Amino acid sequence: MAFRFVHTADVHLDSPLRSLALRNPELGELIGNATRRAFVNIVDLCLSEQVNALLLAGDLYDGDQTSMKTARFLSEQIRRLDQAGVRVFMIRGNHDALSKITRKLTYPETVKVYGGRPEAISLELGDRATPVVIHGLSFAQAQCPESLVGKYKPRVEGAVNIGLLHTSLAGTRGHDPYAPCNVADLEATEFDYWALGHIHKRSISTGRCTIVMPGMPQGRDINESGPKSVSLVTIADDRTVHVEERFTSIAQFERVVIDLDGVADWRHMVTTVAGTLGAAREAANSEHLGVGTRIVPSDTLRSNGA
Ligand SMILES: [Mn+2]
């Protein structure tokens, strides 16, 4: 029997809005609710795909700004998973390391929140299935300058081994260094799958282990552009790993260049603008699209005195 799970990270539930453009009340509300709606999409995906587990690799919350309302929302969603028999495994990241909510919230028994000591949890999946072991460790502080990989328990022979880790890997611009490590360190563990979090952009490495940084499931402004997604993962009894990307973002942000070069009159300009934005809308994988535009001006329009 295959083991199937959804892997996400950096949900940043109820993250405050950073973009001035989002001061527009309607837009602000849409984007303000988007992290929650994306999380509902993730839970819906777990239920419709009837997965065994949801793996959350850190930064579920944005930090201390989040209120008990966030906790109430999360409890409702966790209850949906619990009722469907979907287990939840989560570690803390740098943004939710100190979250008071994480400490106060009481989860059902189907939810595992890893603490400051490494743990390896074995799952019962029926007699004939290959056993599954899920390794995790949360660092208690918002800063973690050293690698955590060496602290994890060794892989369990004959089992599918999955590790949850919040890490900046070898370093990425715009992301604070946190439990840095490199792909070789992760591969040396010989785990089957490393479920990473922290970097908001998706990347996959398929060498001796499958190492997945899923990116965030919902961007928050133009600097987190592109469609956002989670991983739907199937690990067969022979331990082959199959990763599918599933889009979860409600709204996505894109930088769009409107090229008016060669546009000679206003009518042509209007159709060019509409055509460019329409094509961007068409290409988007989310229900809503927020664009930052850059306009390449038309020399002809200018010389016409327009
Ligand atoms: Mn993080």
**Is the model's pTM score more than 0.95?**
no
Query: How far does residue 220's CA lie from ligand 1's centre (Å)?
Result: 14
Q: Per-residue confidence at 241, pLDDT binned at 50, 70, 90?
A: very high
pLDDT score at 112: 96
Tokens representing residue 232 in the block = 């739907």
Query: How far does residue 204's CA lie from ligand 1's centre (Å)?
Result: 17
Cβ–Cβ < 8 Å for 218, 33: no
Cβ–Cβ < 8 Å for 6, 55: yes
pLDDT digit string, tens, across residues 243-277: 999 999 999 999 999 999 989 899 999 999 999 99
Cβ–Cβ < 8 Å for 205, 181: no
pLDDT score at 239: 93
Q: Per-residue confidence at 302, pLDDT binned at 50, 70, 90?
A: low
Segment 173-195 shows an average pLDDT of 92
pLDDT greater than 90 at residue 193: yes
pLDDT score at 303: 57
Query: How far does residue 241's CA lie from ligand 1's centre (Å)?
Result: 25
Query: How far does residue 57's CA lie from ligand 1's centre (Å)?
Result: 9
Return left, alpha or beta for 280; rule: phi > 0 is left, psi -120 to 50 is alpha, else beta: alpha
CATH superfamily of 3-247: Metallo-dependent phosphatases (3.60.21.10)
Q: Which residue has the higher pLDDT, 124 or 6?
A: 6
Domain ranges of the chain: 3-247, 251-303
Q: Which amino acid is at 55?
A: L
pLDDT score at 66: 63
pLDDT greater than 80 at residue 185: yes
On the CB side of 5, CA atoms within 13 Å amount to 27
Query: How far does residue 75's CA lie from ligand 1's centre (Å)?
Result: 22
Q: Per-residue confidence at 196, pLDDT binned at 50, 70, 90?
A: very high
Q: Which amino acid is at 146?
A: E
Query: How far does residue 173's CA lie from ligand 1's centre (Å)?
Result: 13
Query: How far does residue 83's CA lie from ligand 1's centre (Å)?
Result: 29
193-197 vs 160-166, strand pairing mode: parallel
Query: How far does residue 61's CA lie from ligand 1's centre (Å)?
Result: 10
Query: How far does residue 104's CA lie from ligand 1's centre (Å)?
Result: 21
Query: How far does residue 265's CA lie from ligand 1's centre (Å)?
Result: 49
